[in-house]
Amino acid sequence: MVTAAQTLPPGTAPPLRAAAVRHLGPNWYASVMGTAVVGTAGAGLPWDVPGLRTVCAAVWALSLVMLVVLLAARTLHWRHHRDQARAHLLDPAAAPFYGCLSMALLAVGGGAVTVGRDWTGERAAVALDVVLFTAGTVIGLAAAVAVPYLMGARHRIEPGQATPVWLLPLVAPMVSAALGPLLVPHLPPGQPRETLLLACVGMFGLSLLATLVMLPVIFGRLLTGGPLPLALTPTLFLVLGPLGQSTTAVGKFAETAPGTVSEPYAQGFGVLAVLYGVPVMGFALMWLALAGAHVVRARRRGMGFSMTWWAFTFPVGTCVTGAEALARHTGLAVYEGLTALLYALLVTAWVLAAAHTARGLFTGSLLAPPRPAPAPAV
């Protein structure tokens, strides 16, 4: 990892609480994303389960608290450990995780309108989503350009270093595309609503085309370079993110378009939701099976817990919301069943990742400095 000089004067130590966050990287925002999606995906299930919505609201509230705490901790990190923060930007393994900041803001904001409004009231929920959606979208668009630029201009990357982590800054605009339609009904009719909807369609295209460029690189690395290192194996689930989120997005477009855009475009969005969503969900299920097989292999070879386990949550959650959209637009019971299976997988993954993360925070192992590489034998 790239390092730089300390920003504190020589002989000056940072405050104790600031020292504790020196190794807190942007990858921690994945825990916020993974928690928020459990609430929003659960609220969209096609069955009315008593008490489920209350539980989903509580999980969303937890994600909001996590976001506030993490933003405060990362502010301390940037203030007292600027050298480490810059090193993350110059590290090709860490820089893509800056896309997680955008998605964490967007996920919590979208959850406010979807389920958080039960506790906050609709007006407060919409106001919170406006703030978080705006900030998350701006940061996501910036990351979608800045991180690939740094990878090409500043980082020194070998062909065999390609991982699904590279998708993170490219997926962030797709999250904006999927969650932006939630705000469309709260805008004045006419051009404001149509502008936001078509802006979301534009971000859908931006993210989709960038993902289609990147996926062959990742798939080619997997086929020709062998399995990923054990700790990185869970990141294979990140490929599900753009697949499930884009299926969710076209479903939201179809639900928002009537009364927002004129015909035949409104009807066309309804057709797109099915003709795009069905084949993409099929590929997502194939990739889920492939990634699952790699995880089983890695687990048998000793893969332990790391923060990459949060890759099992948000990407699977986007497939849940994508399957929910297909269930609504096709009316097929098979997609309702798929929704239930994927949501059960999501909850299981979240429980495991959250429990291990809580234990790692309690013991201090997750915030400890990385272990030095072993000295070469003489």
DSSP per position, 329-360: HH--HHHHHHHHHHHHHHHHHHHHHHHHHHHH
d(CA 326, CA 318): 12
What are the residues whose beta carbons fall under 8 Å from the beta carbon of 236, sequence distance 6 or more? 164, 222, 228, 287, 290, 291, 294, 295, 311
- Tell whether 223 is covered by a domain: yes
Flag whether 4 is in a domain: no
377 located within any domain: no
Q: What is the DSSP letter of 370?
A: P
DSSP 115: I
Residue 87 belongs to domain spanning: 16-363
Q: Is residue 10 part of a domain?
A: no
Are 206 and 173 spatial neighbours (Cβ–Cβ below 8 Å)?
Answer: yes
Overall domain count for the chain: 1
For the whole model, what pTM was predicted? 0.91
At 97 the pLDDT is 94
Of 188, 315, 344, the C-alpha closest to 245 is 315
Query: Is 284 part of a structural domain of the chain?
Result: yes
Tens-binned pLDDT, residue by residue, of the chain (378 aa):
333 334 444 444 455 456 667 778 899 999 999 999 999 999 999 988 899 999 999 999 999 999 999 999 999 888 877 888 788 888 888 899 999 999 999 999 999 999 999 999 999 999 999 999 999 999 999 999 999 999 888 877 877 788 999 999 999 999 999 999 999 999 999 999 999 999 999 999 999 999 999 999 999 989 988 899 999 999 999 999 999 999 999 999 999 999 999 989 999 999 999 999 999 999 999 999 999 999 999 999 999 999 999 999 999 999 999 999 999 999 999 999 999 999 999 999 999 999 999 999 988 888 777 665 444 444
Smallest CA-to-CA distance from 125 within 136, 107, 106, 109 is with: 109
In a domain, 11, yes or no: no
CATH code: domain of residue 181: 1.50.10.150
Largest CA distance in the chain: 75
The per-residue pLDDT for 367 is: 79
Give residue 78's pLDDT. 83
CB of 234 within 8 A of CB of 308? yes
Do the Cβ atoms of 108 and 36 come closer than 8 Å? yes
Round to whole Å and give the CA distance between 284 and 240: 6
In a domain, 374, yes or no: no
Question: Is 368 part of a structural domain of the chain?
Answer: no
Residue 310 CA from chain centroid, whole number = 9
Given CA atoms 117, 121, 123, 125 in this order, what sign does their dihedral have? negative
